[in-house]
Amino acid sequence: MKLSAKKLTLTIGTTMLLALANSQAYASPRLCGYIAVDNPNKLGILAEFSDNDSLYHQKCDQALDQAWNKIQSNAQLQAQNWRKIYRNKCYDVAKQGFLNQGDDADLLCNNMDSDNGYKITKKGSAGSTFEKQAGSNPSGVGGVANDIDNGVNQGTKAIKSLF
């Protein structure tokens, strides 16, 4: 069977378009904030965001600022050795001390909702615990250009009152 040049071009073009659409449609959760993992008790002040969100970069930057301000406002938190988490994959962060033997590498994002701030703790060999700020995933957080400030602030407000 021989395809005409026109049909071959159309087939290749359609296949490439579908592949491109599928690769851009997948949203990958990313974490932003800080973790302290240098002792047996691990602590994270993190927010999860979809890298598919048009406000992703602004939300991440806002979460970092809020988490750092929270750390600086508390003497016990200041005493920790904090590592910045900047748009890291969930499993990369989880492998830095939040997993027990047999835990799924995506433990963090499996237990977090997008656009929410969390305090994550792991004491010794116990499992990680997740404390989410109540009411932190408001409707309407999205990519409306004139609502960037409101969307960013609403999407990460949970970090401000975690402690």
pLDDT of 105 > 80? The answer is yes
Q: Where are the alpha helices (DSSP H) in the chain?
A: 5-25, 56-72, 75-78, 90-94, 107-110, 148-156
Looking at the DSSP bridge assignments, the partners of residue 18 are none
Q: With respect to residue 17, please indicate whether it lies within any of the assigned structural domains.
A: no
- Do 110 and 104 touch, CB atoms closer than 8 A? yes
pLDDT of residue 89: 93
Residues in the chain: 163
pTM of full prediction above 0.85:
no
Q: With respect to residue 7, please indicate whether it lies within any of the assigned structural domains.
A: no
Q: Could you tell me the pLDDT band of residue 37, with boundaries at 50, 70 and 90?
A: very high
Residue written as token pair 């008790």: 41
pLDDT of residue 141: 31
Q: With respect to residue 3, please indicate whether it lies within any of the assigned structural domains.
A: no
Which token pair is 76?
Answer: 């016990």
Q: With respect to residue 49, please indicate whether it lies within any of the assigned structural domains.
A: yes
Q: With respect to residue 18, please indicate whether it lies within any of the assigned structural domains.
A: no
Full residue range of the structural domain in which residue 94 is found? 29-161
Mean pLDDT of 155-162: 52
pLDDT of residue 84: 97
CA distances from 103 to 43, 74, 108, 154 (A): 17, 31, 10, 31
Q: With respect to residue 11, please indicate whether it lies within any of the assigned structural domains.
A: no
Pairwise CA distance, residues 90 & 92, whole Å = 5
Pairwise CA distance, residues 118 & 111, whole Å = 10
Mean of all residue pLDDT scores within the chain: 74
Both ends of the chain: CA-CA distance in Å?
Answer: 69
Which token pair is 75?
Answer: 């003497």
Q: Could you tell me the pLDDT band of residue 10, with boundaries at 50, 70 and 90?
A: very low
Residue written as token pair 């963090």: 108
pLDDT of 1 > 70? The answer is no
Q: What is the per-residue pLDDT across 51-72, written as a single tens digit (0 to 9) for each?
A: 888 888 898 999 899 899 989 9
Output the CA angle 44-54-17, nearest 5 degrees.
120
Q: With respect to residue 24, please indicate whether it lies within any of the assigned structural domains.
A: no
Q: What is the per-residue pLDDT across 12-22, written as a single tens digit (0 to 9) for each?
A: 444 443 443 34
- Split into its structural domains, the chain has a count of 1
Strands 116-123 and 129-132: antiparallel
Q: With respect to residue 136, please indicate whether it lies within any of the assigned structural domains.
A: yes
